Amino acid sequence: MPISTDSVNLKKLALSKQIFQRGLIHSQSEANVDKLMAVILFDLSTETVLNAVVTSIDSSKSPSDGFPSLLNQVESLLTSTSLGNIPDRANILRVHNIRNDAQHDARYPNNSEVSDCQTYTRDFLKKIVEQSWGLNFEQISLTDLIQNKKIQTILKEANQALEKKDIQTAINESVTGLEKALNSVGNALVGGSTMYFFDNIVTTSSFNGMKGNDRITRSFKKMQDTLRFVSLGLDYAKYLKFKSITGQPLFSVGSEKPSSFFDQKKDPTINDAEFTVAFAIDSILMIEEKVGDIDRPFGKDHVWF
């Protein structure tokens, strides 16, 4: 019989998923240090679940030190409660060994190793969570941790689309939710944003008089974006990777949903969708940690969106 779940167990599983998704974000980078961080985080997400298995089966026990000892402890507890053996043991040991090579021997993992670690870890987490708690790991939603209900609803739609392999909807909802959060918080940090389709900064010249200047508008918005991310401690380089996939949502005046999307990646993959959903959720959770209520960042009222 699967282990009974409670709020503590679910919080541990949500933490493991959050760590895995942070690893997924790092895995999309070509920087060696990001690849290293991805492998470390994949391994840590596995260790977090293994620790949860131990304390869930026997709360009097502390998880063993050292990864091999922890695996043996979990194996013993699972078999003693008729829950079977640890799934994919060789694969998760492979991930741990790649992590050790990277962390202790200063050997950066290559793209193939990072991809293997991502696949092995995801498969293991799915199997161990199903086996131990009778839960679907994919349906453990980090969107429940988002406090703002409007943003939460949008990101839940993104998550649901991802589960159905609806790549484009997952991408569109991800960027919609994150851009709304950034623009709301941005009002408190850098002033109002030019997020609507016909918005333009007007300039004057002796030849053309007063006229909307698209080039200056784009430059100003880029400065706002950069300052927002620096102020919030977010990774702007990864945001640019995110936007290279999602493009820019264009809002008509008075519309809650984008009327269209500009400069989206053509033929995005399921990996692109996974990255955008993970990045959007992770960023919004970090934003709420920094500013509190997205509706009232830093406790101050402002105009929504």
Residue 303: predicted pLDDT: 47
Going along the chain from its start, the domains and CATH numbers come out as 7-140 (1.20.120), 144-299 (no CATH)
Tokens of 67: 């990864």
> In 3-state terms, what secondary structure has residue 251?
strand
Residue 61, both tokens: 């026990």
DSSP-derived 3-state class of residue 192: coil
What are the distances in angstroms from CA 87 to CA 21, 23, 75, 96, 154? 21, 21, 10, 15, 34
How far lies 257's CA from each of 43, 119, 196, 223, 277, in Å? 38, 34, 11, 24, 17
Task: Give residue 3's pLDDT.
Answer: 85
- CA–CA distance, 295 with 142 (Å, rounded to integer): 20
The predicted pLDDT at position 305 comes to 41
Dist. CA 161–CA 145, nearest whole Å:
19
What pLDDT score was predicted for residue 191? 66
Q: Give me the pLDDT at residue 7, please.
A: 77
Q: What is the pLDDT of residue 188?
A: 75
User: What is the per-residue DSSP string for 270-298?
Assistant: HHHHHHHHHHHHHHHHHHHHHHS-SSSGG
Phi, psi of 106 (to 5 degrees): 55, 40
Per-residue pLDDT of the chain (305 residues; tens, 9 = 90+): 788 877 788 888 999 999 999 999 999 888 999 999 999 999 999 999 999 999 999 888 899 989 999 999 999 999 999 999 999 999 999 999 999 998 888 889 999 999 999 999 999 999 999 999 999 998 888 888 899 999 999 999 999 999 999 999 999 999 999 988 888 887 777 766 555 445 666 667 656 667 667 777 777 777 877 887 788 888 888 999 999 999 988 877 667 788 888 889 999 999 999 999 999 999 999 999 888 888 888 777 654 44
Record the pTM. 0.76
CA distances from 209 to 80, 199, 214 (A): 82, 18, 15
Classify residue 142 by its DSSP letter: G
| Selection from 182, 178, 203 nearest residue 193 by Cα | 182
Distance between CA 253 and CA 116 in Å, rounded? 46
Dist CA 169 CA 265 (whole Å): 13
Cα 233–239–242 angle (5° rounding)?
150
Beta bridge partners of 211: 203
Nearest Cα residue to 18 out of 286, 272, 291: 286
